[in-house]
Amino acid sequence: MTAPPLPRPRGALSASVVSSLTGGRDAPVHRPADTLADTADPYGDDLQLALYVLYELHYRGFEGVPDDLEWDPVPLALRRSLERPFLAALRRDAPPGTSAGKALDALLVEPVGHDDSSVSHHLRRDGKLWQLREYAALRSLYHLKEADPHAWVIPRLRGRAKAAMVAVEFDEFGAGRPDEIHARLYADLMADLGLDTAYGSYLDRAPAPALATVNLMSLFGLHRALRGALVGHFAAVEVTSSPGSRRMAAAMRRAGAGAAARRFYDEHVEADAVHEQVVRRDVVGGLLADEPCLEADIAFGVHATGLLEDRFGAHVLKAWRQGHSALREAPATPDGPDRCRSGPSGSG
């Protein structure tokens, strides 16, 4: 398994993090991140990239970065200094509400008529193939590791919640069939659309709102104290996945995408309709039965997920409506702002 290269820094914070990883434990530049994080935009490119890089040490790491830095005190301290303002901003900006049931019920309300704030509604109604390709590239950072951070919560659950969580994750990981792992299906979707399927290949092109949706999963997953928030995130994803996937499947057909591109979303329409019921009844319900004190955390996880997904959607739609790419540093191509260059194929 080949680790991706380190990304290009986007400011002093991410430069400090990259330098500390390439310089090892004795890198003299690790301290500035501690103070810079206090004044940086918690949703900005610099902090989100720095945090993403540090979280990636717990996934596949980076080329040239020693594996044993995963639990080294220096990157862990850097990570903590970046997590504090990010988590504080989420708690400040996420919609209020401490009822897990009400938070999840709100996700079931579909807008009447056109929803001009939803990427999937736009793509189903008006999407161009280049927009589908851009969206697939941006979401690859999420979908190529989609089920992984949720698995961290399994040893922190028990009884009904644990059994149900494992059952849903079993499906996400292909029910024992490697070619059916959902991350593999997403790599197949990318290949069908002519995108580079290598893990992390679009990191340098992904803007901060895309990075933040992935960082949220890692933040919740790596902290036992945030297990309730991770369950809330997981529930929000499962509740919204089936209708969103139905729209995306229709968008793929409308744009003339191939069978593999359509299959990823077709698979999620049926599977996640079932998962939604299991997650609400047994994962959320089981956790609340065991630890009712976590209800506000579950609701926070739902609300924080919606906040960052809304920010991501707003970024993408604003760029497209202005006639340019939603990716960073995107060169023009003859058929419109289709800026996802194809590359070597690989597994997700």
Longest CA–CA span in the chain (Å) reads: 58
DSSP string, 178-244: GGG-HHHHHHHHHHHTT---STTTTTTT--HHHHHHHHHHHHHHH-GGGHHHHHHHHHHHHHHHHHH
Question: Both 60 and 21 in a single domain?
Answer: yes
How far apart CA 316 and CA 323 sit, in angstroms, is: 11
The pLDDT, as a whole number, for residue 333 is 44
With b for 16 or more beta-carbon neighbours within 10 A and e for fewer, the 98-125 pattern comes to eebeebbeebeeeeeeeeeebbbbbbbe
DSSP string, 307-346: HHHHHHHHHHHHHHHTTS-SSSS---BTTBS---------
CB 129 within 8 A of CB 338: yes
Q: What is the 3-state secondary structure (H, E, C) of 90-156?
A: HHHHCCCCCCHHHHHHHHCCCCCCCCCCCHHHHHHHHCCHHHHHHHHHHHHHHHCCCCHHHHCCHHH
How far apart CA 223 and CA 309 sit, in angstroms, is: 21
Describe the crossing of helices 73-93 and 295-321 by its angle, rounded to 10 degrees.
80
Question: Both 87 and 104 in a single domain?
Answer: no
Tokens linked to 59: 């996934």
Question: Both 65 and 118 in a single domain?
Answer: no
Question: Both 68 and 198 in a single domain?
Answer: no
Distance, C-alpha 247 to centroid of its chain: 19
Residue 132 lies in a domain: yes
Residues making up the chain, counted from first to last: 348
Residue 131 burial by Cβ neighbours in a 10 Å radius (0-12, 13-18, 19+) = buried
**Which of 73, 92, 111 is the last residue before a domain boundary?**
92
Residue 231 lies in a domain: yes
Q: What is the 3-state secondary structure (H, E, C) of 144-194?
A: CCCCHHHHCCHHHCCHHHHHHHHHHHHHHCHHHCHHHCHHHHHHHHHHHCC
Question: Both 284 and 141 in a single domain?
Answer: yes
Question: Both 88 and 100 in a single domain?
Answer: no
- Cα radius of gyration (the chain): 19
Provide the 3-class DSSP secondary structure of residue 12.
helix
Question: Both 239 and 197 in a single domain?
Answer: yes
CATH number at 279 reads 1.20.910.10
- Counting the structural domains of the chain, the total is 2
Question: Both 76 and 122 in a single domain?
Answer: no
The pLDDT, as a whole number, for residue 272 is 61
Residue 119 lies in a domain: yes
CB 145 within 8 A of CB 216: no
Question: Both 57 and 117 in a single domain?
Answer: no
Residue 153 lies in a domain: yes
How far apart CA 9 and CA 18 sit, in angstroms, is: 7
Question: Both 103 and 167 in a single domain?
Answer: yes
State which residues form the domain around 168.
96-321
pLDDT in tens, the chain (348 residues): 688 999 999 999 999 899 989 875 554 444 456 678 888 999 999 999 999 999 999 999 999 999 999 999 989 999 999 999 999 999 999 999 999 999 999 988 765 555 678 999 999 999 999 999 999 999 999 999 988 999 999 999 999 999 999 999 998 899 999 999 999 999 999 999 999 999 999 999 999 999 999 999 999 999 999 999 999 999 999 988 888 999 999 999 999 998 998 899 988 887 666 778 899 999 999 999 999 999 999 999 999 999 999 999 999 999 999 999 999 985 434 345 544 544 333 333
Question: Both 86 and 167 in a single domain?
Answer: no
Single-letter amino acid code for the residue at 81: S
The pLDDT, as a whole number, for residue 24 is 52
Residue 207 lies in a domain: yes
The pLDDT, as a whole number, for residue 34 is 64
Residue 333 lies in a domain: no
With b for 16 or more beta-carbon neighbours within 10 A and e for fewer, the 215-229 pattern comes to bbbbbbbeeeebbbb
Question: Both 218 and 285 in a single domain?
Answer: yes
The pLDDT, as a whole number, for residue 344 is 34
Secondary structure element (H or E) that encloses residue 85, with its range:
helix 73-93
The pLDDT, as a whole number, for residue 275 is 79
Residue 157 burial by Cβ neighbours in a 10 Å radius (0-12, 13-18, 19+) = buried
The pLDDT, as a whole number, for residue 346 is 38
Residue 326 lies in a domain: no
Residue 297 lies in a domain: yes
**Which of 40, 57, 92 is the last residue before a domain boundary?**
92
